[in-house]
Structure 1
Amino acid sequence: MTELTRRELDGVTEVMTAAGTTPRGDLRGRLLTGGRSNLTFRLDDDADAWVMRTPPRAGRTPSAHDVAREFRAIKALGRTDVPVPPAVALHEDDDVLGAPFAISGFVEGHTVQTQEQLDALDDTRLSMAIEALNATLAALHAVDHVAIGLERFGRPDAYAERQLRRWRGQWDIVGASFPDEVATLATALATRLTDRLPTQAATGIVHGDYRLDNTLIQFVGKDDVAVAAVVDWELSTIGDPVADVANMCVYRDPAFDLVIGTPCAWTSDRLPSVEDLAASYEKAGGVALRDFDEHLALAYFKLAVIAAGIDHRQRAGAAHGPGFDTAGQAVPLFLEGGLARL
């Protein structure tokens, strides 16, 4: 599904109206680029704009594409200082679009996804953007999830163990089409992680997919950069905040370009190294990065499975375009990266 019919848009309008937001004039929708999991549409009426997230209609993997989870996260965090889009409406049935969908307010800001967009930032503004990115992540990890109503958002303990079990189960589904040598790497990394699971010293809200291109940034005058909104919360949960930092750092691996299908901003040599990025987070007031190598290895395994899932959807005919036909090539590279960290 890359286009919305008039009937579907009318159904979305009814859902928004029932939630207390009535579009003024006929609702229009267009697909925004950049999604590798959920589809992201911009919705417009004659005065306002919104963003709608919905899963693909085919090739879905269990527990992925959780737009309801995204919605609940931003709705709760809207009461904090963490910048998120305003929550508007959630529809969990398949009767309107053939899949659930969630709608949030449209936030003005700059996306930095490509090398070209990154090149538009001079070194000073880029440094400020990274500082703002880490300060926002540290602020997220400082939020009391119970106080904002997310006490049932996820189990607070044994986070690494649950993550390994989840992504190992996903691999059993999406990894079946890979050669034996890749399967051997996956088994080896999962086995070694079982023996070296990181210990959990802190608990907080984990975004699960945090990096620069999952934020919108704003330029504040000539001297500052701020994060206007953090987006893409489908993997969020309650768990070990160190995992968020590890995930962010692993996305710096050049193999991530194969998942995106083009050289992306987050793999650029202009950005800090893994070590410097982690140090910047701690300097911003984040939690101590205990057992960081083990967290990095687990993040590599997670990213390998995500890349395999993208390849799985492409093979199922549910997706096509840049990244979908090359994501599978990144899988052994991520698995090797995780083994190297251990």
Structure 2
Amino acid sequence: MSQENPPGLDLRALGAYLERARPGLADGPLRAEVIEGGRSNLTYRVTAGAAQWVLRRPPLGHVLATAHDMAREFRVISALGGTAVPVPETVLLCEDEEVLGAPFYVMEHMPGTPYRSAAELAPLGPERTRALVECLVDTLVALHAVRPDEVGLGDFGRPEGFLERQLRRWGKQLAASRHRELAGVDELHALLGRSLPTSGRPAVVHGDFRLDNVLADPEGRITAVLDWEMSTLGDPLTDLGLLVMYSEQRDAPNSPITGARDAPGHPEPAELVARYAERSGREVSDVHWYTAFAYFKLAVILEGIHYRSTLGQTVGSGFDRIGSVVPAFIDNGLATLREG
């Protein structure tokens, strides 16, 4: 583990801040490394002696102003700490940008593995793979069953007009990152706007719920749900649509977007929808719209990452290939809407 400063993290400044904010928390020199895998907020493993934590901060470059709000992540993880949703224990939040150049928070380091591909799932075997993906659905049901008012999240978002605002938000994000022609993206955005479903009972929405945003133990049990940067109150079926979309992804060679769809034992996307509907009691007949919206949203996110990569503002590997997959997500979104 490197003792040098990883990109975006000044260990000397962090150590001085921790000593002021939580005297005695760190019992030795700080060391840190970037935790690979994320494409948005930066995540680091930080150690001091025997202690180990995770630190999160926004990316180094251009982003939508509200998309990387550290205080929101910290708040929702803290609020869910006493519920059936497995989350790390939060340690501290720093909103003073003078410390690291951006707000950040520190949380417990949780055991477990983020499974990102069929190849990584294969050693689990079909039974444990199925159990893990079913547990993923059940965890989503548990999240959507949380009553926001009871955990202090009653004002965490505005459910009224949620889908309209989401479409506008991601349309603006697309405009902010637009630097090349993307065939079909404006058509997809317009079609989504013309076929908005009626939202059901609002819930705490994760915003990027997928297999590699959770940690799992060797038995296929989920130990923690991570990456809450896009969480809010809104239409819970946006989470289901994302889960379906990610569950449709194949593990293609040389692709920066890995998929678990081909892992032996992985349930069919339709099975995930049926399990969610049965266990949540929610109406899911418009899931095709939410899945198409997920394709649009991910296309916009990936295009933003591609744009930052062209400016040299990304940290880690694989970003040079992100731009090549964006058109496929646009096409899949259009196909999902038309076939629905």
**Partner of residue 185, structure 1:** 184
Cα distance change, pair 131–6 in 1 and its aligned pair in 2 (3 A): closer
Q: By how many angstroms is 1:260 displaced?
A: 6.5
Alignment of 1:112-261 (within 5 A): 112-174=115-177, 176-179=178-181, 182=182, 184-219=183-218, 225-254=220-249, 261=256
Q: By how many angstroms is 1:311 displaced?
A: 0.4
Cα distance change, pair 259–77 in 1 and its aligned pair in 2 (3 A): farther
Alignment of 1:2-41 (within 5 A): 2=7, 4-14=9-19, 16-17=21-22, 22-41=25-44
Cα distance change, pair 92–275 in 1 and its aligned pair in 2 (3 A): same
Q: By how many angstroms is 1:327 displaced?
A: 1.5
**Partner of residue 268, structure 1:** 262
TM score, norm. by length of structure 2: 0.90
User: Is the contact between residue 112 and residue 215 of structure 2 (CA under 8 Å) also seen in structure 1?
Assistant: yes
Give distance in 2, aligned partners of 1:255 and 1:158: 33
What is the one-letter code of the residue matched to 2:149?
A: V
Give distance in 1, aligned partners of 2:252 and 2:21: 37
Give distance in 2, aligned partners of 1:9 and 1:80: 31
Cα distance change, pair 284–121 in 1 and its aligned pair in 2 (3 A): farther
Q: Report sequence identity in percent.
A: 40
Give distance in 1, aligned partners of 2:185 and 2:235: 23
Give distance in 2, aligned partners of 1:27 and 1:148: 34
Q: SS state of the match for residue 151, structure 2?
A: coil
Aligned residues: 331
Give distance in 2, aligned partners of 1:169 and 1:255: 29
Cα distance change, pair 256–76 in 1 and its aligned pair in 2 (3 A): farther
Q: SS state of the match for residue 238, structure 1?
A: strand
Give distance in 2, aligned partners of 1:274 and 1:178: 32
**Partner of residue 3, structure 2:** none
Cα distance change, pair 76–321 in 1 and its aligned pair in 2 (3 A): closer
Give distance in 2, aligned partners of 1:147 and 1:163: 25
Unmatched runs of 5 consecutive residues or more in structure 2: 1-5
Give distance in 2, aligned partners of 1:38 and 1:321: 12
What is the one-letter code of the residue matched to 2:195?
A: R
Matched, 1:74 2:77: yes
Q: SS state of the match for residue 97, structure 2?
A: coil
C-alpha RMSD over aligned residues = 2.2
Moved more, 243-252 or 54-63: 54-63
- Counterpart selection for 2:309 from 311, 314, 320: 314
Q: By how many angstroms is 1:82 displaced?
A: 0.9
TM score, norm. by length of structure 1: 0.90
